[in-house]
Amino acid sequence: MSNQELKTLELEKVEGILHLRLNRPERRNAFNGEVISELARSFSEVSEDSGVRVVLLSGKGKSFSAGADLNWMQEQADLPAAENAAGAEEMARMFLAIARCKKPVVARIHGHALGGGSGLTAAADIAICAENTVFGLTEVKLGIIPAVISPFVLQKIGVSKARALFLTGERFDGREAERIGLVHRALPEDKLDQEVERVITELRSAGPEAIAQAKTLIQEVADLSLEDAIPLTSRRIAELRATPEAREGMGAFLDKRKPQWLE
């Protein structure tokens, strides 16, 4: 998608990095139907874009995302049941498009990441936040639940933490988000961009197909027993070490040169 087509996002591709910025700062980047549609389409398209190595998801203005726009949520509630359900599924599939993107997704989080904003955080592969960021699974305070984001959040923080945070709806800062595993690093805000750049540099040093396959491997192995994992993991490494990218990567290491994806 181009910026001319977008109303709620801003895209910028710089040296293989797609900067994808939520662009409703006047609403603290709360998402409505347009945001959901544009995010889902953008992540589906970039997943197949060979010119992109990393996606950096961020929010313009004072906050990453305050979650779902409550005016839009009320509009959805007033729809006929089938349309209401379809809108909810579209939102769920937007989070899935982020989580299943073949490119590594880095989230740069600041200000507020409430409700669905915490869901976006959980859907990203690597989440880095300012330590004063305000997080919260606050839906119960509004008489609803964090339904569509729950699978993504549970994968990050586990059932025990979810039982406390889903039920209380309490807010917590970036340091607590790091402690419970929702984000990977929480830093002073003036160090945030430096850490984001460091992570992106690490990602760019890896084989692009290897990263995509590593994401798939996590999905395939996570729920298997050690015994059941052996046939799958043995087959995957046997297949992948014979690929051109693997031959290039191992050859470059042995030859003490840069692999072709860094040249």
Give the pair of three-digit tokens for residue 218: 């996590």
Query: Do 81 and 13 sit in the same domain of this protein?
Result: yes
Whether 1 is in a domain gets the answer no
Q: Distance from first CA to last CA of the chain, Å, rounded?
A: 28
Residue from 131, 139, 178, 195 carrying the catalytic annotation: 139
Would you call 139 a catalytic residue per the annotation?
yes
Query: Do 39 and 167 sit in the same domain of this protein?
Result: yes
Model confidence pLDDT, tens digit, residues 97-120? 999 999 999 999 999 999 999 999
Domain count along the chain: 2
Task: Compute the average pLDDT of residues 81-110.
Answer: 96
Query: Do 143 and 52 sit in the same domain of this protein?
Result: yes
Query: Do 72 and 110 sit in the same domain of this protein?
Result: yes
Instruction: Please tell me the distance from the alpha carbon of residue 105 to that of residue 182, in angstroms, as a whole number.
Output: 14
Query: Do 17 and 65 sit in the same domain of this protein?
Result: yes
Query: Do 166 and 244 sit in the same domain of this protein?
Result: no
| pLDDT above 80: residue 2 | no
CB 98 within 8 A of CB 43: yes
Whether 215 is in a domain gets the answer yes
Query: Do 44 and 156 sit in the same domain of this protein?
Result: yes
| pLDDT above 60: residue 1 | no
Angle at 44 between CA 43 and CA 49, to 5 degrees: 90
Nearest to 47 by CA among 3, 1, 92, 108: 1
Which pTM was predicted? 0.94
Query: Do 53 and 182 sit in the same domain of this protein?
Result: yes
Whether 56 is in a domain gets the answer yes
What CATH number is associated with residue 229? 1.10.12.10
pLDDT number for residue 88: 94
pLDDT number for residue 18: 96
Query: Do 15 and 125 sit in the same domain of this protein?
Result: yes
Query: Do 32 and 132 sit in the same domain of this protein?
Result: yes
Q: Which of 204, 231, 246 is the last residue of a domain?
A: 204
Whether 139 is in a domain gets the answer yes
Query: Do 108 and 197 sit in the same domain of this protein?
Result: yes
pLDDT number for residue 41: 95
Angle at 85 between CA 84 and CA 91, to 5 degrees: 95
> Which residues, listed in sequence order, are joined to residue 105 by a DSSP beta bridge?
55
- For residue 96, give its domain range: 9-204
